[in-house]
Each structure stands twice: as structure tokens, then as C-alpha cells.
């Protein structure tokens, strides 16, 4: 018997029809709330949610997404960090992070050191900003199978996780910025970077 996905049907996934949802944009009140904790063991509806999130993230061309970005107030994020991006940001080879589902994540800074880096967001399309983030963190949360994920990470990996978990607390990256003159349209970044040289 086919289950009905509560989040929106179209693609077949384990007898459930799934479809991508649009990404909510800055200003939508659903991006401002505190997301609710997920019960462990993970219920089927959260598995459905993760499939919708994956399709939605792929359709939008992103590498990370939090459930509130598609209007669902659950503490669920997905992210991946391509090895090419870690090589570019941190100078490390073969250090990519495969697609990870993180449920009820908790972040603990492992240092007071912060670094400023460029961030973009599917909910703030077309813009990039320089955002300070902790350089080393521990994050804990659960996989879809209810297994504990406990990692100490640094650099770009740490930045990505902090960015996605912020969404669960109703925070978008411009709120973390310390200098709003460093919020620029992506289409203008080349000229912006040349003006700094």
C-alpha cells in the first residue's frame, strides 16, 4: 500500500510520491522561528522530509538546506562539502564531506578563534556576504537511522554546519555580518574584489 507524503507528492520513493518544494526567501516569517526537535527513533514523515529536502536542494543548485527553508519547522539539515571547495577554501586535498543528514544538531565551539569568509544562501539569492564564524567546532546530532553523529571539524566544513544550523534558530547569515558594506550581489563580486586589491 502506498503512503501519502505529507510534504508534497510527485517522485516515487519507497512507495511514497515526493516532489521538490520552493525555497523560502528572506522576509518569509517561516524562516524566523525556532524549529522543533525531532523524536528519536526518526518517524517516517522525517524520512519523507529529507527526500523532499534533497530534491529541493538539488533543484535549487545548493549544497546545504535546512527544513525551515522549505517551510517545515523541524530541526533537520542536510549538507555536503565538495572536496574541490575544501581545497579552495582550506587548501586541503581529498577532504570532501559526503551528503550528511543531521537531526537535532547541537554545535559547541572548540575555540574562540573566528574567521571571516564569504557565504551565500538559497534563501538570500544573488547575494554574498563576509561572515565571521568559529574556526573549529564540535557538532552532534542524529542520522536518519537514529545513530549519534559526533564530529570535531574545522575550516569550511565548520562554516557550512554553522550556517545550516543557524536556520533552525531563525537566523540568516546577514544577521551574523559585522560590516554590511561587505554584503554584495554575486554579479558584482569581481568588481568588489578588484576594488579591494
What cell was used for 41? 527513533
Cα torsion angle, 172, 178, 179, 184, sign: negative
Measured in degrees and rounded to the nearest 5, phi and psi for residue 105 equal: -70, 145
What residues have CB less than 8 Å from 71, skipping those under 6 apart? 21, 24, 28, 30
Q: Do residues 75 and 36 lie in contact, with contact meaning Cβ atoms separated by under 8 Å?
A: yes
Could you say which of 89, 164, 175, 194 is catalytic?
164
Taking alpha carbons only, the member of 60, 59, 69, 62 closest to residue 28 is 69
SS3 assignment, position 31: helix
CB 179 within 8 A of CB 108: no
154 flagged as catalytic: no
| Residues designated catalytic | 164
Amino acid at each position: 500500500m502506498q503512503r501519502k507524503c505529507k510534504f508534497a507528492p510527485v517522485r516515487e520513493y519507497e512507495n511514497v510520491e515526493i516532489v521538490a518544494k520552493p525555497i523560502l526567501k528572506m522576509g518569509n516569517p517561516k524562516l524566523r522561528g525556532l524549529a522543533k526537535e525531532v523524536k528519536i527513533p526518526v518517524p517516517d514523515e522525517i524520512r519523507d522530509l529529507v527526500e523532499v529536502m534533497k530534491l529541493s536542494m538539488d533543484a535549487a543548485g545548493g549544497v546545504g538546506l535546512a527544513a525551515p527553508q522549505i517551510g517545515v519547522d523541524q530541526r533537520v539539515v542536510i549538507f555536503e562539502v565538495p572536496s574541490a571547495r575544501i581545497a579552495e577554501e582550506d587548501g586541503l586535498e581529498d577532504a570532501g564531506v559526503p551528503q550528511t543528514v543531521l537531526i537535532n544538531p547541537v554545535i559547541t565551539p572548540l575555540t574562540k578563534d573566528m574567521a571571516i569568509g564569504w557565504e551565500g544562501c538559497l534563501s538570500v539569492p544573488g547575494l554574498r556576504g563576509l561572515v565571521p564564524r568559529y574556526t573549529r567546532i564540535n557538532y552532534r546530532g542524529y542520522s536518519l537511522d537514529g545513530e549519534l553523529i559526533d564530529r570535531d571539524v574545522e575550516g569550511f566544513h565548520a562554516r557550512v554546519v554553522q550556517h545550516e544550523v543557524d536556520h533552525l534558530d531563525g537566523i540568516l547569515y546577514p544577521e551574523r555580518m559585522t560590516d554590511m558594506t561587505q554584503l554584495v550581489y554575486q554579479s558584482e563580486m569581481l568588481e568588489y574584489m578588484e576594488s579591494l586589491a
